[in-house]
Amino acid sequence: MTYCVAMALDQGLVFASDSRTNAGVDHISTYRKMRIWRRDGERVLVLMSAGNLAITQAVVAVLDQHIRSENPHRSMLVVDSLYDCASLVGQAVREIHQRDAKPLKENGVDFNVSLILGGQIKGEAPRLFMVYAAGNFIEATPETPYFQIGETKYGKPIIDRVINTRTDLTQAAKCALLSLDSTIRSNVTVGLPIDLLIYERDSFAVDNHHVIHDHDPYFEDIRTRWGQGLNNLFQVIPDPPWAINKRGG
């Protein structure tokens, strides 16, 4: 599995993804799940993927091909809006579906892929989209300013409690890492390294991208503090008022 989360905030965008891929527990490998395209000063595009690795790689290959061909209607580095880019990602998913879905099904494998695309193109505000396996897509709104894909449930409560569009980028990055931490602790199919990208609104640059490996001092520190803090908090929460019946006591 995979876990990726992205947040659309007033100050910009935050993206985080793990990098574990498994096909059965005896075949676990590391694959980065974040792909970045940019034209400095003009556009930044970030794509994160979950699902069948062959499918997600094929989708990226199609997108790259159109970028190399500089096709004005098919290149994500040329089209006018992030909506158009999301539409191109959806088209690429549909092309791969056309090619692979039937043989996959004959082998008992579902056509399983989901993608998060975010970024900013000059003339627009930063935008964030989620693209489904059917190639259709939705955009994040102020009411629900984040998307998750993959193994999403363990890390959802902390985001629901902390994130809104006014959250600043630093806090949002911290929240994304703690959400990853909860997921990694509870699910062996999600693992380090983590790709973390903080995109500042109107910067049109990728100058805040970090790869967090095992023993990263900051990540280790917040994992420990968060774990201890949760345990301390748990201790100070009042006990249930229902007395435990102490026999003979």
Which chain residues interact with a second copy by CB under 8 A? 153-154, 156-158, 160-162, 169-171, 173-175, 177-178, 182, 185-186, 198, 200, 202-203, 205, 207-208, 210, 218, 221-222, 225-227, 229-231, 233-234, 236-242, 244-245, 247
Q: How far is the CB of 193 from a second copy (least distance, A)?
A: 15
Q: How far is the CB of 186 from a second copy (least distance, A)?
A: 5
Task: Give the long-range contacts of residues 61-66, CB within 8 A, separation 24 or more.
Answer: 62/92, 62/95, 62/96, 63/88, 63/89, 63/92
Q: How far is the CB of 119 from a second copy (least distance, A)?
A: 16
Q: Cβ contacts of residue 233 below 8 Å, gap of 6+?
A: none
Q: How far is the CB of 33 from a second copy (least distance, A)?
A: 20
Residue type, 146: Y
Q: How far is the CB of 246 from a second copy (least distance, A)?
A: 8
Q: Cβ contacts of residue 114 below 8 Å, gap of 6+?
A: 49, 50, 51, 130, 131, 132, 133, 149, 150
User: Which residue number, 19 or 182, has a Cβ lying nearer to a second copy?
Assistant: 182
Complete edge-to-edge strand list for the sheet that includes strand 43-51: 34-39, 43-51, 113-121, 127-131, 137-139
User: Which residue number, 112 or 224, has a Cβ lying nearer to a second copy?
Assistant: 224
Three-state DSSP class for residue 49 = strand
User: Which residue number, 36 or 162, has a Cβ lying nearer to a second copy?
Assistant: 162
Please confirm whether the linkage preceding 193 is cis (ω < 30° from 0): yes
Q: How far apart are CA 225 and CA 29, in angstroms?
A: 29
Bridge partner residues of 118 (DSSP): 46, 128
User: Which residue number, 69 or 224, has a Cβ lying nearer to a second copy?
Assistant: 224
Least Cα distance to 115 among 95, 131, 128 occurs for 131
Q: How far is the CB of 54 from a second copy (least distance, A)?
A: 26
User: Which residue number, 141 or 170, has a Cβ lying nearer to a second copy?
Assistant: 170
Q: How far is the CB of 76 from a second copy (least distance, A)?
A: 24
User: Which residue number, 25 or 236, has a Cβ lying nearer to a second copy?
Assistant: 236
User: Which residue number, 103 or 241, has a Cβ lying nearer to a second copy?
Assistant: 241
Tokens of 35: 């792909």
